[in-house]
Amino acid sequence: MNERQLERIACETYKILFGVSASFVQTELTFYGCVVFLASERQKVVIKFSKEVGRLTKEINGLERLAKIVDCPVPAIHFYGQQEGFDYLVLEWLDGQSAHELPLDKTATTTFSEHYTDILLALHECSHEQGFETSPQCFTPSLNEAFEHWMEPVYRYLMSAASPFSAQLKDDYQALWEQQTDILAPINHGSSLVHDDCHIGNVLFDPKTYRVSALIDPCDVGFKHREFDIFHLYDVRPDLGLADVYFSKTEKADGFEQRRWFLSLWDDAKHSRNIGWYDEAWLNHKFDNYRQECA
């Protein structure tokens, strides 16, 4: 993505929407795209661009759904547009620091961990009587059926000649695909509403109180299983032990340690399909951990 071009589009959009030029402009490249922070005395906003076609429309849906449930702010949506072939989303700029910058002070880590896991537990208590959401307004009572619906396009991409995956990794993923019924069996019931990308890089905290100040960047919000969120708690700042705090408040299903790596591996495959990401050593390391838990 051309950072300067996207910054120019963002600044032009800001002036059209708010009638003034931004006096503060900061641009950050992210895993999935580019974010431009803009501010003036009139308004502070964040303008997001994505590498993945259609991702921003999913984010709009996710933010609207989360805003109805969680007891912390999520960004309001100001505008969704397109310019020069780029979709972009203009969002409210919420105050707070990224939780991956949380200090190691015990008061900070304990306060944040307790509050954030409470937020997730409340979110996950929202279930749907029809089960797991395969698409808007479409459900199946079986997680196995839903998982195949969600991941079969990813699996086809992964196994195709066009994918960057090595022959060995393709064999490993094929075996993983064939194991899905057994791996998911202990959680093949009981849906939860999930954020679907809830690592703490997508959480803001108040630097005065250390409580969660905002939840941002939802991915595929929907009725899945809570473990589709929980495995993300290991992704950033595992030293906080967020999954342990979460499970101190609720029961852990049998086989979680295996599914943690199973779901994480499929999440990485999804990223590869969405934006072309690929890290063979990273994936091999995760397969080693998965096999160790299965032994």
- Would you kindly state where each structural domain of the chain is located, as residue ranges? 3-92, 97-294
User: What's the CATH number for 97-294?
Assistant: 3.90.1200.10
* CA nearest to 259, candidates 202, 195, 185: 185
Q: What is the pLDDT of residue 295?
A: 85
Q: What is the pLDDT of residue 53?
A: 86
Q: How many residues are given for the chain?
A: 295
* Residue spans of alpha helices (H) in the chain: 3-18, 55-67, 106-124, 143-159, 167-178, 180-184, 227-230, 242-247, 256-275, 280-294
Look up residue 241 and give its DSSP letter. -
Q: Report the CATH superfamily, name and number, of domain 3-92.
A: Phosphorylase Kinase; domain 1 (3.30.200.20)
Residue 158's DSSP bridge partners are none
Structure tokens at 198: 């809830």
Strands 77-83 and 138-140: unpaired
Number of other CB atoms surrounding residue 263 within 10 Å: 22
* CA nearest to 259, candidates 155, 181, 172: 181
Look up residue 163 and give its DSSP letter. S
75 contacts 123 by C-beta, under 8 angstroms? no
Instruction: State the Cα angle at 153 between 126 and 69, rounded to 5°.
Output: 15
- Amino acid residing at 267: D
- pLDDT tens for the chain, 295 residues long, are 789 999 999 999 999 999 999 999 999 999 889 999 999 999 999 999 998 888 999 999 999 999 999 989 999 999 999 999 999 999 999 999 999 999 999 999 999 999 999 999 999 999 999 999 998 889 999 999 999 999 999 999 999 999 999 999 999 999 999 999 999 999 998 999 999 999 999 999 999 999 999 999 998 899 999 999 999 999 999 999 999 999 999 999 999 999 999 999 999 999 999 999 999 999 999 999 999 999 8
Number of other CB atoms surrounding residue 216 within 10 Å: 22
Q: What is the pLDDT of residue 200?
A: 95
* Fold match flag (3-92 vs 97-294): no
